[in-house]
Structure 1
Amino acid sequence: MDTYHRAVVAHDGKGVAALFLDHGSTWVTVLSDQGFAAMKAKNPAVQKVRVSSYQDFADYLAHSKSDIDPRHGSVQIMSDGAIASVYFHFDFDVDGKVANRGDETWQLVKTVDGWRIVAMTYSANPAPK
């Protein structure tokens, strides 16, 4: 927060921009420590934090032949009517088996067309293969 404040006071747009992941919607996956260790053993190039996009996920869904069932629980919502934050636990089932589980958070804004997700971040605890 101090870095943000100093950049704003100094009119340092690049400094402020550097504090954000990307403009527009973001999709961020964070492997748990255990998940990261397991994935790294299989692929040394795996990243603990991966930034992608909702378009990548939509493409996956469009081309998947698997039965996909995301389950959500312990949902907590905070909102002032213009913005919202949602936090919940999920189990992501593929073909009847949990493929991934963790916690997820969405940041949303209310547009003239309804609520839209502007950022999604989730912890990933992939099932052993």
Structure 2
Amino acid sequence: MHKLASAVLFGCSLFSAGMALAQTAPPASPAPSHVGRHASTPEDIRAIEKVVADFQAALIAKDVKLLSSLMLHTNILFASPADDGFIKKMRDTTDVHFDGVAVGGYIAFANFIKREPLRTEEKFYNVKITQDRHVAWVNFDYEFLVDNKLSNYGVEAWQMVKRDGAWKILSVVWSMHAAAEAGK
């Protein structure tokens, strides 16, 4: 009986300690009414969706002029940042200042699209557009195909800005997994 009483007392102590911890945490305050409220219009969302569709069409058609027209300018951030292991390797062997963002950006990508003799395509899944006034974000899962074969995949995020009445891509950043990693 003594063991049973000790076990019950121990259980009650644990429960009381848990309740005390739960009570010391400040309660989550409700978000102000303006949080999550964005100034967005159906017309702007449609215009952003058109940029997304034009981007995909430009890759298939190898139309780098159309692709360029979608960018704010050619020096936007356009990169798949390297992981820490690759950064260390580059710093140890090549460039002590390497930060994981390769040079070339959009121009290198456009040149690749233009020069690649095989069909290129980027498929987007789970596209989410968030717009607030003249700024927008487009996030999605992607697959990049060359000659209708998976080359790489990951998550991609665009920042967009509305300039002179037109939506332009301000930055493109993506994660990248080799095709060999698919299905693992």
The DSSP-based 3-state class of the residue aligned with 1:79 is strand
Which deviates further from its counterpart, 47-56 or 116-125? Answer: 47-56
Counterpart contact for 2:83–2:100, Cα < 8 Å? no
What is the TM-score of this pair, normalised by structure 1? 0.65
Counterpart contact for 1:31–1:125, Cα < 8 Å? no
- Residue 176 of structure 2 is aligned to residue 124 of structure 1: yes
**Equivalent of residue 115 in structure 2, options 55, 63, 76:** 63
How far 1:96 sits from its partner (Å)?
Answer: 1.3
Aligned structure 1 segments of 4 or more residues deviating by more than 2 angstroms: 30-33, 47-52
What is the TM-score of this pair, normalised by structure 2? 0.47
CA distance in 2, matches of 1:101, 1:32: 16
CA distance in 2, matches of 1:31, 1:48: 8
- In the TM superposition, what are the counterparts of 1:28-43 in structure 2 within 5 Å? 28-31=79-82
How far 1:55 sits from its partner (Å)?
Answer: 1.2
Q: Which residue of 2 aligns with 1:13?
A: none
Structure 2 unmatched runs, 5+ = 1-74
Greater helix share, structure number = 2
Larger RCO (alpha carbons 8 Å, 6+ apart) = 1
Cα displacement string for residues 7-65 of structure 1 (whole angstroms, at most 9, x for unaligned residues) = xxxxxxxxxxxxxxxxx5111213578xx6xxx8xxx87x8933342111111111110
Query: Percent identity between the aligned chains?
Result: 28
The DSSP-based 3-state class of the residue aligned with 1:50 is coil
Q: Which residue of 2 aligns with 1:115?
A: 167
Structure 1 unmatched runs, 5+ = 1-23
Q: Which residue of 2 aligns with 1:90?
A: 142
Greater strand share, structure number = 1
Q: Which residue of 2 aligns with 1:18?
A: none
